[in-house]
Amino acid sequence: MRKLFLTGCTLLLSLALGAQGLPLCQEAPFKAGERISMGIMFKWGAVNTEVAQASLKLETVPYQQDSVHHAVCAVKSASFFDVFYKMRENFQTWFTLDEHRPLEARRNTIQNSYTATNHYVYDWNNKVIKADVCFDGREPQQKDLKMKGMSYDIVSLIYHLRNVDWKAAEVGKTYTVPFAIDDAVSELSVTYFGPEVFKVRKLGKKNAIRFSCTVVAGALFEGDQEMQVWFSADDNHVPLAVMVPLKMGTMWGWLKNWEEGK
């Protein structure tokens, strides 16, 4: 009876979250042990070069009194490209196994002269994120960031988008998803374009779904631009490619290898 009650509560929560925006899968498309590697390409005029590697891995780990998902996303630019633009990114997040509710997140970033560290602890009772942040050469800050519904960090946002039931999403509709970075909770606009056949670099044609996300204006971005994302159209929703418009050229991320979790 207790298991049935908990299952019912989880289903109701999933339906409620889906009603707020994007519909969610009944069964998560990812499992502990999954590994994803991607190559990062820079395209500008005649230049079309792989400049960095990205990896994403998922494990189940003990956290306080429970078992939770622990995801790590890392990006490292190639040594030859460090001369032009050095990238060192490490994102970690801990989120619940059932609702995929973020509990804690860390970010360590180097992008040339720009550095950032974020440490978030989610206080769901009071609907705030306890944030220790330092970025863009500013003094370290401790802030309470007010949540906007189910608010994600960068990595838990990736898994949330993978957990969307894209077959039930409305083509052409724009959804909003709250996410936190640095000292603010913003809203990401996500527009779904539906299924398509997409040619993945070195892997050939794949059945995919495509959506776009707004790109925040900053050192690299002009603003009012859309990042394009392709996921596999199967039940795993594996990231196949991402295209990010830059002030100079375009950055592409291409799937190189995927190892299914167990």
CB atoms within 10 A of CB 34: 19
Q: How many domains does the chain have?
A: 1
For residue 105, give its domain range.
Answer: 30-255
How open is the CA angle 100-107-211, to the nearest 5 degrees? Answer: 55
Alpha-helical regions (H) of the chain = 2-20, 79-82, 154-162
Tell me the C-alpha to C-alpha distance, in Å, between residue 246 and each of 5, 225, 259: 49, 9, 30
Q: Which two tokens stand for residue 113?
A: 């002269």
Q: Please indicate, yes or no, if residue 1 is contained in any of the structural domains.
A: no
Q: Please indicate, yes or no, if residue 138 is contained in any of the structural domains.
A: yes
Q: Please indicate, yes or no, if residue 5 is contained in any of the structural domains.
A: no
The predicted structure's pLDDT at residue 257: 98
Quote the mean pLDDT of the chain.
88
Given a contact cutoff of 8 angstroms between Cβ atoms, the answer to whether 137 and 152 are in contact is: no
Q: Please indicate, yes or no, if residue 10 is contained in any of the structural domains.
A: no
pLDDT in tens, 201-219: 999 999 999 999 986 554 4
Q: Please indicate, yes or no, if residue 107 is contained in any of the structural domains.
A: yes
The CATH number given to whatever domain includes residue 120 is 2.40.360
pLDDT in tens, 54-93: 999 999 999 999 999 999 999 999 999 999 889 999 999 9
Q: Reply yes or no on whether the pLDDT at 190 is more than 80.
A: yes
The pTM (predicted TM-score) of the whole model is: 0.88
Q: Please indicate, yes or no, if residue 192 is contained in any of the structural domains.
A: yes
**Residue ranges of E strands in the chain:** 35-44, 47-63, 66-77, 87-96, 102-111, 114-123, 128-135, 141-146, 174-181, 184-200, 204-215, 225-232, 239-245, 250-259
Q: How does DSSP classify residue 86? A: -
pLDDT in tens, 169-180: 999 999 989 999
Instruction: Give residue for tokens 């892997």.
Output: 203
Q: Please indicate, yes or no, if residue 23 is contained in any of the structural domains.
A: no
Q: Reply yes or no on whether the pLDDT at 18 is more than 70.
A: no
Q: Please indicate, yes or no, if residue 58 is contained in any of the structural domains.
A: yes
Give the lowest-confidence range in 66-70, 101-105, 134-138, 213-217: 213-217
The model's confidence at residue 246, banded by pLDDT at 50, 70 and 90, is: confident
